[in-house]
Amino acid sequence: MTLLYLFNEATVLIQADQTVTISMVGPILLNLLSDLELERKKSERVYLMCDALISSLKTRFGGFYKHFSIDTDNCKVKINTNANTSCLYGDPIFLMSAVIDGRFKFQWINDCTLLSDLTKTNIISTIKQCLIEASIKLNSQNKLDNADVQIITEEARSNDSNIPSSDKEKKKSLFPTLASGSFKKAKVSNATPKSVLDELDGFLKEDNMAHNLIFKNASSYQSLCHLARKIMCVPATSAPIERVFLQSGLLMRPHRSKFSQANICILTSLKCNKSLL
């Protein structure tokens, strides 16, 4: 039964609804596979069971394991499951979220006994590049949006000042910005800002292992913090949402059948967030 201890712990951690969970997916999957490979070599009695569990992991989460050059096609036990779920875990969010979590950073990769030193070096370099590119893209998009809003406001004021007061109420347009003529856009720089590299290097050198480290020091890691807000809010499972539906079900009793949709939404929100009141 010791084989299932880690699976039980993983289930409890990944279904939490008041902590960040998306950053746990990568370290959990890598640790589970590493532990099963180790247990399979220890005893022949659990060999077949380990093979079945390993095959199940590789079939379900094969997209994630391919990042680490782990072969997912040589499963000795064939598992009948939806193969389409495998590619979903190839998304880099499962790699980036773990690194910007102060509890893991790159330690979960360096401690893995399954990976060679070359593989560790390559995957760490890849994740760093993904983080930098994602931060640049996000920051550039924000600058572009802010620039567009500013340009729209300036053009609207300029056009408004040139229109005679007698004609202002007569002319209407669904898209006044497009109809007014030129629409300028801010240029997006593809160069790698040095600040992003400095932020990442500084964050990785932190000794603090708090899961919200990057948010506590938001002033020092502005670009990474902005990226973290985007990806760390993603739940790893649907368990938190299912709990919300459960609370709605408990509220919707037969004697409350006349409740409107708005009232149910308000009561559910109050019930689920009563600790904040």
DSSP-based three-state secondary structure for 197 = helix
Which single residue is written with the structure tokens 């899961």? 211
User: Rounded CA gap, 56 and 79, in Å?
Assistant: 6
pLDDT in tens, 1-17: 677 888 888 888 888 87
Q: Which of 7, 12, 20, 58 is nearest to 214 (CA)?
A: 20
pLDDT in tens, 61-103: 888 999 998 876 666 656 555 556 788 888 999 999 999 998 8
71 Rama sector, left if φ>0, alpha if ψ -120 to 50, beta otherwise: beta
pLDDT at 117: 92
* Residue 60 · residue 85 · CB < 8 Å: yes
pLDDT at 80: 54
Give the residues of the chain that fall short of pLDDT 50: 163, 165-168, 172-193
DSSP 8-state code for residue 213: H
pLDDT at 56: 87
pLDDT at 247: 81
* Residue 236 · residue 14 · CB < 8 Å: yes
* Residue 210 · residue 102 · CB < 8 Å: yes
* Residue 36 · residue 52 · CB < 8 Å: no
Half-sphere exposure of 149 (CA within 13 A, CB side): 6
Please indicate, yes or no, whether the overall pTM of this predicted structure exceeds 0.85.
no
* Residue 156 · residue 177 · CB < 8 Å: yes
pLDDT at 48: 85
- Structural tokens at position 144: 């572009």
User: Rounded CA gap, 251 and 254, in Å?
Assistant: 9
User: Rounded CA gap, 36 and 42, in Å?
Assistant: 10
pLDDT at 150: 55
